[in-house]
Amino acid sequence: MSDSEDLAELRVGADYQFGAGAGEALFPVDEPITIRRSSGGRPRQIIDGDVDDTPGSPEGDRLVSYGTDGRFTLGTAGARRLQDAFPEPSHRVVVGSESEPYVRDGRNAFAKFVTAADDGLRPGDEAIVV
């Protein structure tokens, strides 16, 4: 499959996982996007910008990783795009300031720190921690 065909399918998957409009928000038609593939040719990571895949080349911002289960794991750049595209509280979990040092270090936010959350979130869903 070509990159444009893969991006069309990835947009559909993002709309399914995150809601209508997520595919266009994550992977806009008018912006360059790089698809990094597994050795079998499956999309594995979707990167913002036209990034060279040769070793030692500059890295772009990771929008999402695409799992073997067909679900996306958000990167920071992808989460920001969804945050800009969807009104609050969609896809968001609000945590107290005491959890900030842990979250900034890439650790999990424990349930006791959660002060508000999108009612539509289900166990296992990707969420934006704010």
- Encode the chain in three state secondary structure: CCHHHHHHHHHHHHHHHHCCCHHHHHCCCCCCEEEEECCCCCEEEEEECCCCCCCCCCCCEEEEEECCCCCEEECHHHHHHHHHHCCCCCCEEEECHHHHHHHHCCCCCCHHHEEEECCCCCCCCCCEEC
My answer on whether 17 and 75 are in the same domain is yes
Two tokens, residue 5: 């065909």
Per the structure, the complete domain to which residue 62 belongs is given by 1-86
Q: Look up the pTM and report it.
A: 0.84
Residues 54, 9 within the same domain: yes
Residue 45's CB: how many other CB atoms inside 10 A?
Answer: 18
User: Is the separation of the CB atoms in 3 and 57 below 8 Å?
Assistant: no
Which CATH number does the domain housing residue 3 bear? 3.10.450.90
According to DSSP, the residues that pair with 34 across neighbouring strands are 47
- Residues 25 and 70 occupy one common structural domain: yes
How far the first Cα of the chain sits from its last, in Å, is 37
Domain co-membership, 80 together with 98: no
Task: Quote the number of domains for the chain.
Answer: 2
How many of the other CB atoms lie within 10 Å of CB of 104?
Answer: 8
Q: What is the pLDDT of residue 54?
A: 58
Residue 55 has a pLDDT of: 52
Question: Is 94 in the same domain as 81?
Answer: no
Same domain, 71 and 103: no
* Same domain assignment for residues 92 and 82: no
pLDDT digits (tens), the chain, 130 positions = 578 888 999 999 999 999 999 999 999 999 999 898 888 989 999 999 877 665 555 677 899 999 999 899 999 899 999 999 999 999 999 999 888 888 788 788 888 889 999 999 998 899 998 8
The first and second tokens of residue 12, run together, are: 């559909």
